[in-house]
Amino acid sequence: MLRSILRTAATAVKSHPTTFDILIPAAISAPSKLSSSRTFAKGPHPNKPNFRPDIKPDNAATGAKGAESLNKDLRARALKEDEKDESLNIGPYGRPLFTSAASISQLTKKDTYTYMKFRREELESLLAEGLPIGMLKEFGDSMRDALLIRQSFLDLRDNFRSIVDPTVQSNAKGHKARKQVVLDGPVSSGKSIALAMLVHWARDEGWLVLYVPKGREWTHGGFFYKNPKTGLWDTPVQAANILQDFLKYNKDHLQKLPCKIFEPIPLGEGAGVGWMKGADVVQIPEDYTLLDLVQVGLSSTHAAVGVVVRLREELSLVKDVPVLIAVDQYNSWFTFSEYEEPVTVRSCRPIHAKELATVNAFRSMIHDNMMVGAFSHSTAVGKLRKDLPDVPADARINFPRYSVDEAAAVCHYYLRQRLIQREAFTEENWKKIYYLSHGNGAEMRWLVPFMR
């Protein structure tokens, strides 16, 4: 009996095979899709209905950008019409919103809390190495190339002016002229913009300025080799970029300044090409100018680092024209670079910025030359100790964020530039923005459109 039951069951299985196709999703049951990468369906989720059928999800981002562009165009037209109405150019307490000074050199204490208009072509010419990101952001959001005149900047300008012309008196209390200055302060306090304005002023005055808008680039990217002759690390790509930037605005000055050091410049490894065969130095003729020296470094990748180091020595000997070295992101030169030196098969040693030949030549402030460096905390290089090596103890000064009076001028300017709705603008509202942001310029600019 049992055998008969088993025989009947086996026959039923053979004649009616069980299938699982209706239980397993097609994407899993199909053998060809098991080895493919995971994919996701496009379009609206079946469980989340589209309440705006006239707007397709794939085009939502495009629609938002289009609306933003339209609003910007309408605002630009309105601002163009506002130029005809002089009554709008009124700042806090009925004072003029824009200064009448024709240049940075003419600015006085009376011009504080006002804005100075610039021409973009002039800025890009005088700051050929590049404009600070904060300055470009300010220009873009306000839709006008203008900057606030701050007393902290005028004190910085007058500090270096009094060094060249001792008859100039500074308005700063307890002022002591410093040839070396380090601008420190919280994020978005305007250090980079102040440094760029200082370079603008110095070049207007006819000074020779080596401006480094991005000091961090000296310690990142490109090739790096250890020079057995110096024990330092050569970065020929960065060296060539340094020379190119220095040549952009200073060419007329350089061709008038003769070289004063004629010792041969040692050659190093070129960018990706190794050592030069048959030569280890390059000769500097006695009739060479600083322009010729820079051209040597640009024409030979093997000589680029050596020329940058020699250029630092030559700049310290220039007496015919005031020389200023201005470095933004200066704190990047007091921490580790991007480069690493292999120690064992499985470990590497990080290379400090001071071990790079170019940084080593320019980082020190223990000299008699005018030099200003600005910290950039947005680069997140870490917290540095108060007493920095190779920096005078009294060189570090705090660059403050906006004061209440400066914030008042800033908010009236943004009202003028239609970043704030006029019906929502009150003293109470702009002070709320100021205290909420703690005087952070970037945060204030972002918050003022939400004033209600």
**HSE value, Cβ hemisphere, 13 Å, CA-based, for 441:** 28
Instruction: Compute the distance between CA of residue 233 and CA of residue 337 in angstroms, rounded to an integer.
Output: 11
Helix (H) or strand (E) holding 197: helix 191-204
Examine residue 406 and state whether it is found in any structural domain, yes or no: yes
Q: Which of 330, 334, 326 minimizes the C-alpha distance to 370?
A: 326
- Let me know if residue 4 belongs to a domain: no
- How many of the other CB atoms lie within 10 Å of CB of 412? 23
Which domain does 360 fall in, by range? 208-398
Q: How many other CB atoms are there within 10 angstroms of residue 439's CB atom?
A: 19
181 and 172 in contact (C-beta within 8 Å)? Answer: no
Number of H helices, E strands in the chain: 14, 13
Q: What domain count does the chain have?
A: 2
Write down the pLDDT at residue 23. Answer: 35
- 134 and 274 assigned to the same domain: no
Beta bridge partners of 295: none
Tokens of 124: 């890009």
Statement to judge: residues 145 and 249 lie in one domain: no
**315 lies in the same domain as 354:** yes
Q: Return d(Cα 280, Cα 265) in angstroms, integer.
A: 9
Q: What would the pLDDT profile of 275-315 be if each residue is shown by its tens digit?
A: 988 889 999 999 999 999 999 999 999 999 999 999 999 99
Same domain, 416 and 430: yes
d(CA 245, CA 131): 13
Asked if residue 345 and residue 253 are part of one domain, the reply reads yes
Give the pLDDT score at 168.
Answer: 73
Q: Taking each helix axis as running N to C, give the angle between helix 191-204 and helix 133-142, from 0 to 180 degrees, rounded to the nearest 10.
A: 100
Residue 1 lies in a domain: no
State whether 280 and 377 are in the same domain.
yes
pTM over 0.85: no
Please tell me whether residues 136 and 240 are part of one structural domain. no
Task: Map residue 185 onto helix, strand or coil.
Answer: coil
- Per-residue model confidence as pLDDT tens digits over 351-368: 999 999 999 999 999 999
Ranking 33-42, 426-435, 437-446 by mean pLDDT, the lowest is 33-42
Higher pLDDT, 431 or 12: 431
Residues 110-154: tens digit of each pLDDT: 999 999 999 999 999 999 999 999 999 999 999 999 999 999 999
Q: Does one domain contain both 357 and 238? A: yes
Q: Say if residue 343 is in the same domain as residue 372.
A: yes
* 391 lies in some domain: yes
In this structure, the answer to whether residues 270 and 377 fall within a common structural domain is yes
Least confident of 26-30, 203-207, 311-315: 26-30
Q: What is the pLDDT of residue 222?
A: 92
Same domain, residue pair 291 and 379: yes
Among residues 360, 270, 262, 345, the alpha carbon closest in space to that of 308 is found at 360
Task: With respect to residue 76, please indicate whether it lies within any of the assigned structural domains.
Answer: no
Structural element, H or E, at residue 184: strand 180-184
Residue 23 resides in a domain: no
Residues 309 and 444 in one domain: no
